[in-house]
Amino acid sequence: MGGEMQKSKGRVQRSEARGQRADIGDGADTIGQRAEAEQRRIVINQGVLSKNDQLAQGNRALFRSKHLLTLNIVSSPGSGKTAFIERTLTDVKGRLRGGVVVGDLATDNDAQRIARSGAPAIQITTGDTCHLDAEMVAEATAKLDLDALDVLIIENVGNLVCPSSYDLGEDLRIVLLSVTEGEDKPLKYPTMFKTADVVIVNKMDIAGAAGFDRETALSNIHRMVPRAAVFEVSARTGQGMAAWYSFLEQRAAGRM
Amino acid sequence: MHEISVIQSAMEIAVESAKAQGAQQIHRVNMRVGALAGVVPDSLQFAFPIVAKGTIAEGATLEIEFVPAQCHCASCNSDFEPKDFFYACPNCGALTVDLLHGKELELAYLEVS
Ligand SMILES: Nc1nc2c(ncn2[C@@H]2O[C@H](COP(=O)(O)OP(=O)(O)OP(=O)(O)O)[C@@H](O)[C@H]2O)c(=O)[nH]1
Ligand SMILES: [Mg+2]
Ligand SMILES: [Zn+2]
């Protein structure tokens, strides 16, 4: 609406700027008007994050050439991303070789925890950036021996807003939520949930204590992102993890 | 904050393009932002002068064209503007994730001198 008007006005302005003074309709006064009269338009029409998208495509091509299955794991802070990764890598050891890139605002605690499972883990300290981007992932993965891996797991910064806009070159985007976060979580973060290939409902071991309304939560997830595979698990007890492992192994086999 | 990095990326493209075309000053930056781009237009407006400071875009106006979401229903082959984030088709009720518009996060044009 308003945008359309601005657009056509701008078009007029540009053509006039070539020859005579443009008629600026925004009520700019004489001095401003004179300066604006010499203005011209540069049409760009480019995605603001196109540089990231290109780098992500580069990552994707590299990871595929190495026959890697790449996962981008996102959630709110504390939903259990690190615990989920630790458990997964420990349990699939011997069947899948995993490597991890972990984004954290300040510490390298998560990388240390994951390293204890025996998998190589590279920490990206993001400082005040609230998401990982494709360039950070490219730099971090350069430190891993990708030829020695089947699965590359990227633990994003705990945040359900910002990471949604940044493609990292992953095959699967995995959105985790825990039973303590409320059944309406998917409704509060639609942009992120809409992009999920897999949704993990974690901390099922405390679902009862948390008063988790499972039916409502699953229905919200399904209505928000009908195509996603959903797994209800506990990274602590291992409950429900077997189904996730068969899914993971099947997808990884598709890459080999 | 996310919007700061988005504006930084936009400004990189803007300043590079403006300089490449011999411009001295950017007066206006026009962006298209979809309903599902994951950024808040007000926060972009807030971030803009902070990032523009000290560049050839200092003092410029940021203009945001909001792009509403538009879906395509594959079941009944119709397009619609979703009423909520479930994207249920008002015609046949099918759930869809086929988004035609709404993800835009684009730098459309600059006004320079
Ligand atoms: N009861 C229970 N606790 C869990 C489970 N998974 C993780 N936790 C606990 O939840 C807390 C956060 O787990 P993390 O794995 O650090 O979560 P995270 O998502 O990596 O957190 P950030 O990286 O800080 O965003 C820890 O105290 C975990 O022990 C689970 O399945 N059940
Ligand atoms: Mg963690
Ligand atoms: Zn329909």
pLDDT at A3: 35
Distance CA A17, CA B3 (A): 33
Which of the pair, A194 or A36, is modelled with greater confidence? Answer: A194
Residue A78 near ligand 1, beta carbon < 6 Å: yes
CA distance B20 to chain A (A): 11
Helix (H) or strand (E) holding A104: strand A98-104
Residue of A209, A64, A83, A226 whose CA lies nearest to A141: A64
pTM over 0.95: no
For residues B111 and B57, give the distance between their C-alpha atoms in angstroms, rounded to a whole number.
Answer: 10
Counting beta carbons within 10 angstroms of the beta carbon of residue A68, is it exposed (0 to 12), middle (13 to 18) or buried (19 or more)? buried
Which of A47, A51, A226 minimises the CB distance to B105? A47
Ligand 1 atom 25: residue of nearest CA: A77
Q: Of all protein residues, whose CA lies closest to atom 13 belonging to ligand 1?
A: A80
Could you give the number of structural domains in chain B? 1
Q: Is A157 left (phi over 0), alpha (psi -120 to 50) or beta?
A: beta
Confidence of residue A19 (pLDDT cuts 50, 70, 90): very low
Q: Whose CA is nearest to atom 10 of ligand 1?
A: A80
Taking only the tens of pLDDT, chain B with its 113 residues reads: 588 989 999 999 999 999 999 999 999 999 999 998 989 999 999 999 999 999 999 999 999 999 999 999 999 999 999 988 889 999 999 987 688 999 999 999 999 99
pLDDT above 90: residue A26: no
CB pairs under 8 A between A and B: 109
CB of A203 closer than 6 angstroms to any ligand 1 atom? yes
Instruction: Please name the residue of chain A whose CA is at the shortest distance from the CA of residue B5.
Output: A129
- In this prediction, residue A12 has a pLDDT band, given cuts at 50, 70 and 90, of very low
Token pair for residue B79?
């397009």
| A171 touches A185 (CB < 8 A) | no
Q: A125-171, pLDDT tens digit by residue?
A: 888 788 999 999 999 999 999 999 999 999 999 999 989 999 999 99
Is it the case that residue A96 has pLDDT exceeding 90?
Answer: yes
pLDDT of residue A28: 45
ipTM: 0.90
Query: Distance (Å, rounded) from C-alpha B105 to C-alpha B37?
Result: 6
Q: For a pocket test of ligand 1, which of A81, A87, A100, A123 has the largest count of ligand atoms closer than 8 A to its C-beta?
A: A81
Cβ A182 under 6 angstroms from ligand 1 = no
A108 CB less than 6 Å from ligand 1? no
Q: Write a three-state SS string for chain B.
A: CHHHHHHHHHHHHHHHHHHHCCCCCEEEEEEEEECCCCCCHHHHHHHHHHHHCCCCCCCCEEEEEEECCEEEECCCCEEECCCCCCCECCCCCCECCCEEECCCEEEEEEEEC
Q: Which residue has the higher pLDDT, A112 or B98?
A: A112
Q: List the structure tokens of A175.
A: 């959105």
Is domain A49-253 classified as CATH 3.40.50.300? yes
What domain range is B57 assigned to? 3-112
What pLDDT was estimated at residue A127? 80
CATH number reported for the structural domain that contains residue B50 in this entry? 3.30.2320.80
**What pLDDT score was predicted for residue A37?**
57
